[in-house]
Chain A
Amino acid sequence: GAVVSQHPSWVICKSGTSVKIECRSLDFQATTMFWYRQFPKQSLMLMATSNEGSKATYEQGVEKDKFLINHASLTLSTLTVTSAHPEDSSFYICSAQDGQVNTEAFFGQGTRLTVV
């Protein structure tokens, strides 16, 4: 199957700093990627839909100025958590589909963010 690579797999940062997470589709082009946040023992909460060449679509309640998404190419989307605070600590995971509607979602490895 297709491969989605996410980096870093874990990061620890100080409060007030920004952290960038990358999501790459390695062997296919993804015009759309999805960013999720997952709390322990909970489901995948969709944060935003990243569209190549255009602005991301954010879900209700997600601050677009805090979670900056850039999808500059067909294989790369980035999520930047700006001015991170301890409450932003979570597991962030991206996914992409191989260009077609209603097909398997391929997930990145996820990023464990800890803000201290």
Chain B
Amino acid sequence: GENVEQHPSTLSVQEGDSAVIKCTYSDSASNYFPWYKQELGKRPQLIIDIRSNVGEKKDQRIAVTLNKTAKHFSLHITETQPEDSAVYFCASGGSYIPTFGRGTSLIVHP
């Protein structure tokens, strides 16, 4: 089955800095890569996703890049704000069942 590795497990940045979270996957057939944000005690919510026919997608301060050859994709958050503090999960959709990474706890210090 699919295996998704996510790094780092914890990321601490100062407000205004950029944050990068990286994931690798194993199933070369995977073609859908979403990122979810989960605030404490709340449900995960999609923040951005990318499909295998593009290499990069951007939405305001958030961007995702995909390297299908290397089987890795990354989340980039620029100009971080305290409200960006949360746990971020990557996922890989090779089959109908999404496989989630272990999560990255992002802490943005004011």
Contacts and interface: CB of A to CB of B under 8 A. Distances in A.
B43 interface: yes
Contacts of A32: 96
A44 B44 contact: yes
Nearest to A4: B43
B97 A107 contact: no
A93 B42 CA distance: 10
Which has the most chain B C-beta neighbours within 10 Å: A1, A101, A109? Answer: A101
B73 interface: no
Range of interface residues on A (Cβ < 8 Å): 20 to 34
B93 A41 contact: no
Which has the most chain B C-beta neighbours within 10 Å: A42, A101, A102, A107? Answer: A102
A5 to B, nearest CB: 10
Interface of B: 31-32, 34, 36, 41-46, 49, 51, 87, 89, 91, 93, 95-98, 100-103, 105
